[in-house]
């Protein structure tokens, strides 16, 4: 019997799921719209149907050892999704225990950034590393911190909120209710806000002047910067300066061997990495200089979220604590 894991990515729009082996092969995958289910019971029903189909599609001789789920606002210890702004289920949803009851398999739930860190650890560039950090740059900024081979969850199960550390006391308002959080500057949304600020402050020509805030995407800003647009280039420089400085703080807190950058904004490659590395190195304490690698995630593909959730199960299965944790 070949052992496999079910990896799940619950997103605001769609839920993706796939069967993954230890080598990171995606044996079968499927997806359905999360938005259709106002109530969790309907979601679980649809989820079960999709899992049954997936399992049938790969034939016999497989043993599923667990289910790993990545979801926004997930609490690892409690297996709950708590007050998610982008999902329809209000309050606290005990998703892990509901899934576990249905399938009678160990089930773990974590947030997207921690899932990305598990993915990097098992399938990506962090293989063999015991101390590293993954920063996810999507709509927001997430972080997964690994210390001595274990994800840092903190006392209550929600450590690793680098995106909501302070950049500017009187800064931009954040979705979390605070002001001046890192993710209001460094994320796909953050760089769009920066472009609009720069367009207001300067009079130079820019193609982005014709685009509404809603239509402006991080890809457009990247393309504009590649085409020499001064506002777009300045926006990347501004974003990278704040990111580089904050990452040097992350190093001071956690002393990692490497920091991996993951997600949409990293597709800008050198536009983001070169200035980030410059500001990062300039701000590192001398004792850390030359000792911390800053690199792109090796899991930047469309299945990264499924692989990351599956990797969480493999990690705890191999650590021998899967059944005690789930």
Residues that bind Zn ion (CB under 5 A): 164, 174, 176, 178, 181
Maximal CA-CA distance, the chain: 66
DSSP state of 275: H
Asked whether 169 and 179 are in contact (CB, 8 A), the reply is yes
H or E stretch covering 317: helix 304-319
Query: Considering the complex, what minimum distance in angstroms separates the CB of residue 92 from Zn ion?
Result: 20
Q: Could you give the CA distance from residue 79 to residue 292 in angstroms, rounded to a whole number? A: 33
Strands in 92-93's sheet, in edge-to-edge order, are: 74-75, 80-82, 92-93
Query: Considering the complex, what minimum distance in angstroms separates the CB of residue 292 from Zn ion?
Result: 25
Which C-beta is closer to Zn ion: that of 7 or that of 190?
190
Which C-beta is closer to Zn ion: that of 167 or that of 235?
167
Query: Considering the complex, what minimum distance in angstroms separates the CB of residue 243 from Zn ion?
Result: 15
The pairing of beta strand 80-82 with beta strand 141-147: unpaired
Q: What are phi and psi of 123, to 5 degrees?
A: -120, -10
CA atoms within 13 A on the CB side of 281: 10
Query: Considering the complex, what minimum distance in angstroms separates the CB of residue 184 from Zn ion?
Result: 7
CA atoms within 13 A on the CB side of 185: 26
Q: Exposed/middle/buried for 58, CB within 10 Å: 0-12, 13-18, 19+?
A: middle
What tokens appear for 254 in the block? 């956690």
Which C-beta is closer to Zn ion: that of 246 or that of 315?
246
Q: Which residue, 95, 176, 142, is CA-closest to 308?
A: 142
Query: Considering the complex, what minimum distance in angstroms separates the CB of residue 181 from Zn ion?
Result: 3
Which C-beta is closer to Zn ion: that of 181 or that of 299?
181
Query: Considering the complex, what minimum distance in angstroms separates the CB of residue 147 from Zn ion?
Result: 23
Query: Considering the complex, what minimum distance in angstroms separates the CB of residue 149 from Zn ion?
Result: 29
Sequence-ordered alpha helix ranges (H) in 90-229: 95-103, 112-122, 188-201, 218-226
Which C-beta is closer to Zn ion: that of 181 or that of 268?
181
Which C-beta is closer to Zn ion: that of 62 or that of 178?
178
Which C-beta is closer to Zn ion: that of 120 or that of 183?
183
Name every residue whose Cβ is closer than 8 Å to that of residue 153 and which is 6 or more positions away in sequence.
76, 77, 114, 159, 160
Query: Considering the complex, what minimum distance in angstroms separates the CB of residue 180 from Zn ion?
Result: 8
Which C-beta is closer to Zn ion: that of 115 or that of 181?
181
């Amino acid at each position: 019997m070949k052992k496999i894991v079910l990896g799940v990515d619950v997103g605001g729009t769609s839920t993706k799921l796939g069967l993954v082996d230890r080598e990171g092969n995606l044996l079968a995958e499927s997806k359905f719209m999360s938005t259709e289910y106002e109530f969790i019971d309907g979601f679980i029903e649809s989820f079960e149907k999709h899992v049954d189909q997936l399992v049938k599609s790969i034939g016999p001789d497989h043993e599923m050892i667990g289910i790993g789920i990545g979801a926004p606002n997930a609490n690892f210890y409690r297996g709950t999704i708590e007050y998610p702004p982008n999902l329809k289920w209000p309050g606290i949803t005990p998703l892990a225990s509901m899934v576990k009851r249905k399938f009678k398999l160990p089930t773990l739930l974590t947030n997207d950034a921690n899932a990305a860190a598990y993915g990097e650890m098992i399938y990506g560039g962090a293989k063999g590393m015991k101390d590293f950090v993954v920063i996810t740059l999507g709509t927001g900024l997430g972080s997964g911190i690994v210390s001595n081979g274990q994800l840092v969850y903190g006392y209550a199960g929600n450590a690793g909120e680098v995106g909501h550390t302070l950049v500017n006391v009187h800064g931009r308002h954040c979705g979390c209710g605070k002001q001046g959080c890192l993710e209001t500057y460094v994320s796909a949304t953050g760089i769009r806000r920066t472009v609009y600020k720069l367009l207001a402050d300067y009079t130079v020509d820019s193609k982005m002047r014709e685009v509404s805030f809603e239509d402006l995407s991080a890809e457009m800003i990247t393309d504009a910067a590649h085409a020499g647009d001064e506002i777009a280039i300045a926006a990347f420089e501004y974003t990278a300066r704040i990111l580089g400085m904050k990452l040097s703080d992350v190093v001071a807190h956690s002393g990692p061997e490497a920091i991996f950058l993951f997600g949409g904004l990293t597709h800008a490659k050198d536009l983001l990495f070169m200035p980030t590395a410059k500001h990062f190195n300039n701000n590192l304490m001398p004792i850390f200089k030359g000792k911390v690698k800053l690199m792109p995630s090796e899991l930047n593909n469309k299945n990264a979220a499924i692989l990351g959730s599956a990797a969480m199960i493999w990690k705890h299965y191999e650590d021998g604590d899967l059944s005690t944790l789930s």
